[in-house]
Amino acid sequence: MSISVSLTDSRARVGVWLIGARGSVATTVVAGCAAVTAGLQAPVGMVTETAPFAGSGLPALSSLVFGGHDTLDCPLPKRAEALAAGGVLPHGLPEAIAADLAAADAEIKPGGPLPGDTRRPDELIDAFAADIRDFVRRHGLARAVVVNVASTEPVAAGPDLPSSSLYAAAALRAGCPYVNFTPSTGLHHPALADAAVTSGLPYAGRDGKTGQTLLRSVLGPMFAQRALAVRAWSGTNLLGGGDGAALADPAAAAAKNAGKERVLTDTLGTTPEGRTHIDDVPALGDWKTAWDHITFDGFLGTRMTLQTTWQGCDSALAAPLVLDLARLTARAHEAGLTGPLTELGFYFKDPVGDAPSALGAQYEVLTGFAERLRTHAADHGGDAEGAR
């Protein structure tokens, strides 16, 4: 398939429409993009700012325009203040980038459905899609990417579309690429399968790997490559914030854990004993501690163990990846790519399509993708297939 695309123009403005736009991750995305653009902070944690991505034609950080849906009311500047008080954002940053926060805040529309909302699913999708189209039009954006960073939904039961799928359908209806950074259903609903194909839009997901699973995606391959027999892999996650409360719901935790355990099975080639717990510990605020205990056999059956303790701030780990994904997906859209972006498996616990599960191999696929985008960018409107 050969398509014609406009000249790569990193100055063209690109929209990032966040589902869950008033949450910790979204607030950190908006604040962080502004801080880096203003030169107040280095782009630590942004893979797309490293050498292999130079010249790949990604939209500049300064070209990103933020908006989104949320069911909450709390203004972004206030949310940012709370994050700064909790040590997630640097002190003084919310004041320094107050205008950027206010601008994004003005573009957040009410999400749904809230209790009492009698609109049918299709009406909701229409309303959400209209919000997005309006955002694109008013800002004269070249395109917008919809990214789901809302709290994890319980595993869906039944044929009804969960909220995350309503938003995903709205993205397609508005002609926007879609990225699911959470384990929620999103575009993975049978009712959306056809629309995903016929839309001709690129999409990526599911469930960003930011901490414990990131670690597992390098430790699993290490054991496998060394032919060490992992017998048990147990884990406990302690987290506060909204995420802790959402995941205290066993159904929501089940969605999250499925991804965590899939990485083990995929990289080890077997499913070890052991469970993974997610505990709500409000005292931890936006911080998270993940302990993993791995029992393995060495030569002659000698039993050994590895323990890891990861202490991180989920929003600070997730936000740069969200910016990466928004840029890469926008660029893929510009380059005429369609369907699942399997090249972005590096970012996800449960990547779409067939892709390697070891982080190192995923990184090679990702940088190879950057290389192809670079070639494509150099060709100014060449064959989109060339970007694959």
In order, the DSSP letters of 277-330 are: EEEE-GGGTTEEEEEEEEEEE-GGG-EEEEEEEEEEEHHHHHHHHHHHHHHHHH
The span from the CA of 379 to the CA of 377, in Å, is 5
Q: Are 53 and 371 in contact (CB under 8 A)?
A: no
Between residue 165 and residue 224, which ones bind its own copies under the rule CB under 8 A?
214-215, 218-219, 221-222
- Residue 31 found at the interface with its own copies (CB under 8 A): yes
- Minimum CB separation of residue 1 from its own copies in Å reads 31
- Determine, following the binding rule CB under 8 A, whether residue 106 of this chain makes contact with its own copies: no
In degrees rounded to 5, what are phi and psi of residue 146? -100, 125
User: Contact region for its own copies (CB under 8 A) — 134-142, 167-175, 252-260, 316-324?
Assistant: 316-324
Residue 307 identity (one-letter amino acid): Q
**Which parts of 219-238 interact with its own copies (CB under 8 A)?**
219, 221-222, 225-229, 231-232, 234, 236, 238
Stretch that binds its own copies, among 15-23, 85-93, 118-126, 172-180 (CB under 8 A): 85-93
Q: Is 54 in the site for its own copies (CB under 8 A)?
A: no
- Integer Cα distance of 388 and 368 in angstroms: 9
Taking the complex as a whole, the smallest distance from the CB of residue 342 to its own copies amounts, in Å, to 18
- Binding piece for its own copies, criterion CB under 8 A, among 153-161, 185-193, 298-306, 336-344: 298-306
Is 144 among the residues that bind its own copies (CB under 8 A)?
no
**48: which DSSP letter?**
G
The piece of 62-70, 163-171, 276-284, 373-381 that touches its own copies (CB under 8 A) is 276-284
Report d(CA 244, CA 237) in Å as an integer.
9
Q: Of the candidates 93, 104, 171, 387, which one interacts with its own copies according to CB under 8 A?
A: 93
Does 302 sit near its own copies (CB under 8 A)?
yes
Quick check: 250 binds its own copies (CB under 8 A)? Answer: no
Q: Closer CB to its own copies, residue 289 or residue 375?
A: 289
Per the DSSP assignment, residues forming a β-bridge with 291 are 236, 309
Residue 263 CA: distances (Å) to CA of 256, 266, 358: 12, 5, 8
